[in-house]
Structure 1
Amino acid sequence: MDLQEISDRIEINDVLIRYTRAIDTFAWDRLDTVFTPDARIDYTESGGIAEAYPQVKPWLAEVLPAFFSQLMHTLGQVEIELRGDEADVTAYFHNPMLMDDGAGGQKVVEIGGLYHHTMTRTPDGWRSRKLHEQVIWRRNI
């Protein structure tokens, strides 16, 4: 592995972390440092939408806080296949989320799966131009 590949892998991992931290902290504008303006995002397997980033960002800001008071992603087993200025990236995710249980309390719901990103090198660094969230399992939903 040369220095460029090491640097690319570190930068791509940082994009993944920025994504999960933005979602978990409801910092929606931080997603602008994750996605290209024309990115396509598919959340249909978890009951969401599949649209271009400009439509997904406000949808996330409206829907996630309405259902969940706290989220806490964990990422693992990141696979990065570099092809010059493009990369296919797959990362395992586990996302426990706190929500109202309908009886005056709260419950934890969980989703586990794979994030599939197609990333591209931009003048501002690596960005995702496509995200597909593949749900493998759910608990308490």
Structure 2
Amino acid sequence: MLSLEEISDRLEIQQLLVDYSTAIDQKRFDDLDAVFTPDAYIDYSVAGGIEGRFPEVKAWLKEVLPNFPIYYHMLGNVDIRVDGDTATSRAICFNPMVMGGDSGQVYFVGIWYVDEFVRTEQGWRMSKRVEEKCFDKLL
């Protein structure tokens, strides 16, 4: 049986996953400061992105994502494991992205987010995000 603290921790972490998706989908990249630790490691390389520390990746997101006029994140099968002041999660993400220009093509991306979290004075923050590829297809 889960304790109230563990239920609360899981809900806070689940909200971080939603906050990440909302920040990206609404192109509010500064909102990511409340999701990641300042030194978080992020690896988007399986879907053609970059890997590095949060400040570098945030700058890259601001530069690259406006090239896609429409996209969204849909998360599911969220598995959160809490161990004291650290936690891990694994969540499936379906991320269709409309390509810019006149092509009208859609890049369909299916990935797993494999994440690590730490409890900070400001609450839970993501300290690591690595994407694992399920599929991608350009239509």
| Same structural fold, with TM-score higher than 0.5 when normalized by the shorter chain | yes
Partner residue, 2:88: 88
Q: 2: distance between equivalents of 1:99 and 1:25?
A: 16
Partner residue, 2:76: 76
The superposition leaves residues 71-117 of structure 1 with CA deviations (integer Å, 9 ceiling, x where unpaired) of 111000001111100001110100011113x5x24222210010011
Give the TM-score normalised by the residue count of structure 2. Answer: 0.95
Q: Percent identity?
A: 45
Partner residue, 1:43: 44
The one-letter amino acid paired with 2:22 is R
The one-letter amino acid paired with 1:73 is H
Deviation, 1:15, is: 0.3
1:25 aligns with 2:26: yes
Runs of 4+ in 1 over 3 A off after TM superposition: none
The one-letter amino acid paired with 2:25 is D
What SS does the corresponding residue of 1:60 show, helix, strand or coil? helix
The superposition leaves residues 1-55 of structure 1 with CA deviations (integer Å, 9 ceiling, x where unpaired) of 1110010010000000001111111110010011000100001111111110011
Give the TM-score normalised by the residue count of structure 1. Answer: 0.94
Count residues with an aligned counterpart: 138
What SS does the corresponding residue of 2:58 show, helix, strand or coil? helix
Q: 2: distance between equivalents of 1:55 and 1:113?
A: 21
Q: Is there any run of 5+ residues in structure 1 with no aligned partner, and where?
A: none
Partner residue, 1:129: 127
Partner residue, 2:110: 112
